[in-house]
Structure 1
């Protein structure tokens, strides 16, 4: 028999007895529930189950006899999945084996635990995506099945042979989705109607022809110089930026929707800023740090797309500008330079509005210039010990083992600068003026997979991924119209599309 929980109730105990009333922790026991899953018993806080599991919430509110029982027997679940659920509800981020994945999906479906479904989505990778997709479709966990299908679509060429072992309906759904496209935009100042700069473009990589093409032109009043650039819900956001060397800040934000090939405006943060980090996460944009009047700031603001308003969040531990950042398993991480060869990695936890110190990298010349994530790994790119500033070295931090590993070799120069790296599936895309390089990520080495045309423009570059409907890719000469519509539909309604596909199964 396995017991989960800090308190254990023996089968012969009686909480109403006078002796038990003197025991420490009795109050907690009175609000606990024994849950039997096959031969395992778990002692769980009732409030935890009520808050997070639709099944238990409905049970406890039903008035049926079961809601008064001290022990509930779940006959159709596996203990592995229930353990994973409790770990997730306790704030852990476990990586899972195949058996754990199957039972966790079963648990998420039966008990209706959104937090567990969200965790499963966050850990989809090339090793488990097919299992996640097929199992989630079988149990009707539509959000997870759709997210897994999108991941598979992005790696379709690598997974194609295995994909076709799936039922035909599942294969057809994957093939109906739009893959992610590697995108780039250079640093540009605002233009004017009379002196339009037709080089002010957002471009995409045509991987079939191995060349860069224009997707859309920037609105004339948009600046990408020292701006915050991020993608959220498949829409491109450009916030802040400066007019010129005077560093006068643009006081309007811009949003590009590829579904309609349209631009719209949004409010700027309450504190005008430039040279800051912009991150899109779960329906919100986060403007982190930056500068104003040539002074670094520690303030952070959050923009909720649902209500179109900015509000202040917890400040950074110290003022900082141009921070390297990454999202690993849908968790937000940043690099803070401490000096003397040390870089702190902090995580922002939106649910608690807290910055937490995760680890410190101590290396000679360890200033973090760029950070990307793959699975549960953070890769920090930094200056290498050489005279060529385009070359860099990497260190890998594993979030599960909490260990650093120095990556062998140096990267950059003719193979593309890693200071603008973007991860898609098991690949990393990098670029410079001469070449665009795709690397394959292996355990502790990145191997060159292919090289394509360079992004032949000067200045700082922002790179990101978006899903582009074929109809939204305009001709080279098409200019983008600026609209005031700030509520255009999302590119993909995952639940609707998934249900259309899987209702046949």
Structure 2
């Protein structure tokens, strides 16, 4: 299998017979397309081939509204590949998905937004009216505002105004806490955000008394915070209810917990679903995985892990879910979960003697696995980088070593990664071959395990008065609309 490719659902016999193929002519270049895939994935071909008109029986059509580069990228994506693209390919791919209406291609373009192409993606997508891609690019730019400010001068004023109207991602953290007693508020039971301008951690909200974040699964999905599966105390009795915090409404709500009670699980939010991966129950590791669909508000079982595991390392890279399973003797296996076929696919194996994985983060098409350097030194960790496009491992130069404490967690935002422990919050500039120190800020001075994540907070000023009441001062936002410019090829 080529690097970056993924298995596709099996097709029924006879689906790829010559009669089911369509020749597409673009600028005197001929491409062959599987009709069934084209109808399933592309609105243009669906309308054309299911119209009942004579075009639906043709064996060759001519397209004048798209270019060859963009159409080649379309065919790659429909074939299950996940290619990284240069500037010319990006422009033509956006043009292609705009005219042919291909959600799979739009989603792929969203998955490869990065600091090198975000401005091009944003401007081109706004030009052709690909609004999901335009909006997601604008959010990425907003998160890297200070780094991209000068380059933004090349954008039309209306596009800059739209970026300025968006909420940036904030670095968030919560510690492990057991449920508290009603009426006895523990001031430490809080969700906090990093005020980067003041280098201070500030309280956003208090945890409800019945929530446990001890050995819980914590994830963000659609800008809501989800917490499930924590334990009450050393008895490991599991909290059966799930909790959700909505920052826009500044409110907590509950939802059903997993069918299989579990703690020490990994919770992943991805494309409208929560995934509860592995964990433990009654001190036994679990291999089961459950998925909670926000739309249906229900849990269902999906394909189990290849082996029982708790506290699984995970990351989402290029809109794909990856986990690492430690196999012992220094071996770490990386798997991808593919929702379309409900399957865990072994991607690669990393072998480092006397070492085990601590954390994993994603940046562009790279997955960084942080691990301890040797079994007797937990204040030092080193990194290995797996590139999804090349399928190659490299060791990242340098190492994380801090006399003020070991690495607790890490989160990537734009081209920066924040590492965090009780004593110091450190921001690094991420590069494939090395992470360079950018700045250091106040640590998260709480006891226990730390969960870190990103959320977009309403533009409010939040503080705590002496009596613990929350005081907010809201800002009013006028969000400009984005209007498409006419495409130079529209008249063809």
TM-score > 0.5, shorter chain as reference: yes
The match for 1:71 is 60
**Structure 2 Cα separation of the partners of residues 173 and 473 of structure 1:** 25
**Structure 2 Cα separation of the partners of residues 43 and 237 of structure 1:** 45
The match for 2:475 is none
Cα contact 2:366–2:432 (8 A) shared by 1: no
Distance of aligned partners of 1:504 and 1:138 in 2 relative to their CA distance in 1, 3 Å threshold: closer
**Structure 2 Cα separation of the partners of residues 79 and 27 of structure 1:** 23
The match for 2:449 is 460
Q: Aligned with 2:354: secondary structure?
A: coil
Q: Does 1:429 align with 2:418?
A: yes
Q: Does 1:81 align with 2:70?
A: yes
- Which of 98, 103, 106 pairs up with 1:109? 98
For structure 2, the residue ranges without an aligned partner over 5 or more in a row are 1-13, 471-477, 487-492
The match for 2:168 is 179
- Which of 254, 257, 265 pairs up with 2:246? 257
- Which of 236, 250, 266 pairs up with 1:277? 266
CA offset digits 1:32-81 (Å, max 9, x no partner): 11001112111111111111111111112223332222111001211111
The match for 1:343 is 332
Q: Does 1:242 align with 2:231?
A: yes
Q: Does 1:438 align with 2:454?
A: no
Q: Aligned with 2:185: secondary structure?
A: coil
Cα contact 1:36–1:42 (8 A) shared by 2: yes
The match for 2:135 is 146
Q: Aligned with 1:335: secondary structure?
A: strand
Counterparts of residues 326-341 of structure 1 (less than 5 Å): 326-341=315-330
- Which of 171, 175, 191 pairs up with 1:202? 191
The match for 2:84 is 95
The match for 2:5 is none
CA offset digits 1:259-298 (Å, max 9, x no partner): 0100000100000000010000000000000000000000
**Structure 2 Cα separation of the partners of residues 361 and 202 of structure 1:** 35
Cα contact 1:288–1:301 (8 A) shared by 2: yes
Distance of aligned partners of 1:351 and 1:470 in 2 relative to their CA distance in 1, 3 Å threshold: same
Counterparts of residues 116-195 of structure 1 (less than 5 Å): 116-195=105-184
- Which of 469, 483, 487 pairs up with 1:502? 483
CA offset digits 1:394-430 (Å, max 9, x no partner): 0000001000001122204248744410000000001
Q: Aligned with 2:460: secondary structure?
A: helix
- Which of 32, 39, 52 pairs up with 2:28? 39
Distance of aligned partners of 1:479 and 1:263 in 2 relative to their CA distance in 1, 3 Å threshold: farther
The alignment's TM-score, normalised by the length of structure 1, stands at 0.89
Cα contact 2:129–2:484 (8 A) shared by 1: no
Counterparts of residues 49-64 of structure 1 (less than 5 Å): 49-64=38-53
**Structure 2 Cα separation of the partners of residues 93 and 479 of structure 1:** 49
Aligned residues: 465
CA offset digits 1:467-493 (Å, max 9, x no partner): 00023845366569xxxxxxxxxxxxx
Displacement of 1:369 in angstroms is: 1.1
**Structure 2 Cα separation of the partners of residues 106 and 473 of structure 1:** 43
Distance of aligned partners of 1:77 and 1:415 in 2 relative to their CA distance in 1, 3 Å threshold: farther
The alignment's TM-score, normalised by the length of structure 2, stands at 0.91
The match for 1:295 is 284
CA RMSD of aligned residues (A): 1.8
Which is further off, 297-306 or 405-414? 405-414
The match for 2:11 is none
**Structure 2 Cα separation of the partners of residues 474 and 49 of structure 1:** 54
Q: Does 1:48 align with 2:61?
A: no
